[in-house]
Amino acid sequence: RMPLEALSSLAHELIDAVVDARCQGDLAALSALSRLLEVYEERLGGFLANLKRAMCTSYYPERSLLEPRAADWRGRGRLPFDATCSPRYIEELMAFAMVADDASSDLLETRLTLLRLQEERGEPGEGYESAAEELGSDEEEGQATKAGDAASSAEGAETTEVEDEAAPTTADEGAVDEAVWSVLHHLLGFRHVFAPRDSTWVLYGALQLEGDLRSHPAIHASGTPLEPLVTSL
């Protein structure tokens, strides 16, 4: 059994790898990592559970990947990751409840503590930065040689420039971010895929409805009745 510090260190390395892949638009790497974690979930569930436990209250993912978690609406500070959810979860929940109004969306994002990816596709973690510095020094040593090579191959480069511009170097950002969410779901344990059985938790855990649902204040949040949402769930 790995100690907590070792698990945290491993999780940090995986988070750095995700940051690096997102920055590079490397969909293949993210998909492979997601699949690997799925296999771990199937065959080494205890290991992955311990990994999630080590990262449950960590702020490390918010260094260069996630926006800081919003404070709990009940005033209990930031929640652990297993009490948060991804944008996909909100979308699937609203589709299941057949509601699409802004009031429902705002309420669910607040009560379910929605996670968000940082808009800036940040650089990798400190480990990657130190490696980049080492690579940079190596590159400086070879500048003279590269300059000569560039001059001699300039003519050939011009003939292939159009082909290089036409070939995409990165995957679609939306597909990359979806793959990022899939990986983080396995590492951090937030809710990512909505299932109808989650309705009880949404109503009584997140919304904390009690007694007569139709008279609960949450139904009238933001001045717009949320009765369709509550009724559907």
Q: Which of 25-39, 74-88, 119-133, 142-156 has the lowest mean pLDDT?
A: 142-156
Measure the CA–CA gap between 134 and 22, rounded to whole angstroms: 22
Question: Does residue 128 or residue 108 have the better pLDDT?
Answer: 108
Q: At 158, is the pLDDT very low, low, confident or very high (cuts 50, 70, 90)?
A: very low
Reading the block at residue 135, the tokens are 């690579």
Measure the CA–CA gap between 11 and 55, rounded to whole angstroms: 7
Question: Does residue 16 or residue 139 have the better pLDDT?
Answer: 16
State the pTM of this model: 0.70
